[in-house]
Structure 1
């Protein structure tokens, strides 16, 4: 495995695979904080050159985190289809990139290819791609998933309705829920981040949202994004949860800091199958975000793009209904400005799709990052062009509980109309029945909450 190259008369030598992958990454403040980023543009180009010449087998045969010490590594390794891998193991990463972008290669071929790729290989090829490459390649892949309804069809853009409330007040949650529905939001999931992680509070919110969904015969799913153990206890006590949520990371050590393990996630999925209210077969919801392993001091010197890819390798083992990265939420320590946030959003979405995941994005930022509403609106257009399965929407784009800025209900409706997308078919039928949509677009009744008065 060659880890050196000469550019412009200067010799660049990288100590190991971990170093060259890190330095091939596009500029990220998290990598710089970790002390693993390229020092110059020239060094980054040299690292990309070396990565482009590596073989798929070079990366698989030199694990960044050994399977003996990390269950995420073990899961990624064990899930590889050896027949597919055997066909591509001698490809260079540059050749892999060319194959993915080729006009002759589409959805079927990329889904098959995915089964032979480790997460680290997917991260490596991502580092060689431009933003347009990431949009074009991801848009080739159609990932359908089904809980109570099916989302992900070509030509659609689904959304998570996020009616968070700073005190988990049920009336406040339901009012915000009504507003989101009145703008056509919510086919991916009605998902609430609770302030109170107690079982009783989670049960109360699950019952309230499920009762409302049932009353109005809304073809969607509910979820309360408490810790997985809290949700499990609530379900065991009879709470109606269509799916189970958990934030995940790229290492076992990071998972321990989250209070989870592979075994626990498997138990949660089994419980959702046996006692959850979702139809399935997909019943899990995972959330990720670049930089979480660094903040947990559990990244082992691996760059945040490669770590993020490992999230998706872990996630695909459990066949989730939806996965989303929360890009721009953690803060400027990991993604410093608009350029880094946009790049990360496109990277995460592409890597998730190439893992075969039903991928969404919370297109967001915090007020101490160098980004603003225009930047995330730009990213929303790019991701919609890339075929993102769903995006997240909060009232007026301002989450008053989590204190960050996201897409608003109005923003998502505008993106749908501008780019000629619709919500998922079953949900669109309900919107038309309610008079919220007419002829594939929002009607004059959109935004009128009185439609939910009995």
Structure 2
């Protein structure tokens, strides 16, 4: 028997449970189609949205899409829900919540107080009723500020992750890419390497190299080798220079087990990183990555649509006060986000949902070469996200990651966004760029920095 109903055009539509209703209301995604969850027609999708709009927000506190007793992420969501923070919107339906978010009453102060009172499912639900411009407009009003050695999320700022990956983890190659990025003013969110070989000894070597460069050139940023969190715990125990602890996370307990983690391991790593006290302007020491389709790809989605499961991952991230969270929006492939239109929609959804839940949300604006997408689609998404107040974007040399074999943004793309929209780097990093001659005073190439760095590469002092 259908639990949720809507009559549209004289035809009555029924949806058996909340999972089916949320999936049917979702924007079209190839992953939901692959899982047999997508609406069978545009008419069914619209009927689901009408039914969802009339649903009280309180419903999501009682009707759980993944059972409490089966899933520690659900338990985290339920047990940490703040009813006092929820009170201002507790009487609203999902549709009324959308209207309130778009109103002048939902200003930065009101939105900043709201996240502890919202569950991921509430936020996913309201996003399904929104056009792209709605997602942009509300996300831009959300202000989430975090700090370690740079302060991120301030109004008018767009930070960047410098991603100098190398197919053999060659430290000189990584250092050369790092210099290239710094000369374009990239790297204030983090200088972060995805290691080609993920083990403790290799990660330590990369961390030592990055930390040496950071200290020698007095770069106000944080570094990170994106090794598995259990490796990072061992690395911290060995006394290596860990700034940020990284981990990919998902929206169900079973999906996180597939990543080799649970909440207890993340808590251990978070506590250890905070104990190191390596930040200068703050101590947000965690970095999480997510992406629509990760739970579906491992069969651990519990029949929940990929966007709702993705939003549940933000509850995991939120529990550990991260410096950075980003969706790697097009990386998982066309089986889950088929083309540029779906990637753009997913990127805006993820950014909106993360910001509304109180996260410092960024994005890897990217696609794989077998997706029906191209760099024009990425131009559109990076511009829309920057207009929406995205905390940070990822950039790689030439927009082509030669280790992970996918397409992201280039350093030049960041210059375009800063010129077009007037967004600036984090204040501490901006001051360093001016001091080093990268910006300001008409200096387009900081000759002294570049020459010194290159001499070190040639002499083998970067190794």
Query: Do the two structures share a fold, i.e. TM-score over 0.5?
Result: yes
Return the match for 1:351 from 350, 353, 365: 353
Match of 1:445 in 2: 445
Structure 2: segments with no counterpart, 5+ residues: 456-463
User: What SS does the aligned partner of 1:324 have?
Assistant: strand
Query: Retained in 2: the 8 A contact 1:235–1:276?
Result: no
Match of 1:120 in 2: 121
Match of 2:250 in 1: 249
TM-score with structure 2 setting the length: 0.95
Return the match for 2:373 from 371, 374, 380: 371
Coordinate RMSD, CA, aligned: 1.5
Name the CA distance, whole Å, in 1 between partners of 2:13 and 2:446. 59
User: How do 1:13-92 residues align onto structure 2 when only pairs under 5 Å count?
Assistant: 13-92=14-93
Match of 1:289 in 2: 291
Residue 278 of structure 1 and its aligned partner are, at CA, apart by 3.5
Name the CA distance, whole Å, in 1 between partners of 2:444 and 2:162. 21
User: How do 1:172-211 residues align onto structure 2 when only pairs under 5 Å count?
Assistant: 172-211=173-212
Return the match for 1:413 from 412, 415, 420: 415
Query: Retained in 2: the 8 A contact 1:218–1:427?
Result: yes
Provide, for residues 191-241 of structure 1, a one-character-per-residue CA deviation record: whole Å limited to 9, x for no partner. Answer: 000011111100000000000000000000000001111111112112101
Query: Retained in 1: the 8 A contact 2:3–2:16?
Result: no
Name the CA distance, whole Å, in 2 between partners of 1:328 and 1:39. 24
Match of 1:6 in 2: 7
Provide, for residues 112-160 of structure 1, a one-character-per-residue CA deviation record: whole Å limited to 9, x for no partner. Answer: 1222111100000000000000000000011110112211110010000
Residue 11 of structure 1 and its aligned partner are, at CA, apart by 1.2
Name the CA distance, whole Å, in 2 between partners of 1:32 and 1:179. 42
Q: How many residues align?
A: 452
User: How do 1:317-356 residues align onto structure 2 when only pairs under 5 Å count?
Assistant: 317-356=319-358
Name the CA distance, whole Å, in 2 between partners of 1:113 and 1:272. 28
Query: Retained in 2: the 8 A contact 1:159–1:185?
Result: yes
Query: Retained in 2: the 8 A contact 1:2–1:54?
Result: no
Match of 2:458 in 1: none
Residue 2 of structure 1 and its aligned partner are, at CA, apart by 6.1
Match of 1:303 in 2: 305
Query: Retained in 2: the 8 A contact 1:243–1:276?
Result: no
Match of 1:235 in 2: 236
Query: Retained in 2: the 8 A contact 1:60–1:121?
Result: no
Residue 451 of structure 1 and its aligned partner are, at CA, apart by 5.8
Match of 2:150 in 1: 149
Query: Retained in 1: the 8 A contact 2:288–2:325?
Result: yes
**Does 2:317 match 1:315?**
yes
Match of 2:391 in 1: 389
Residue 66 of structure 1 and its aligned partner are, at CA, apart by 1.6
Match of 2:459 in 1: none
**Does 2:436 match 1:434?**
yes
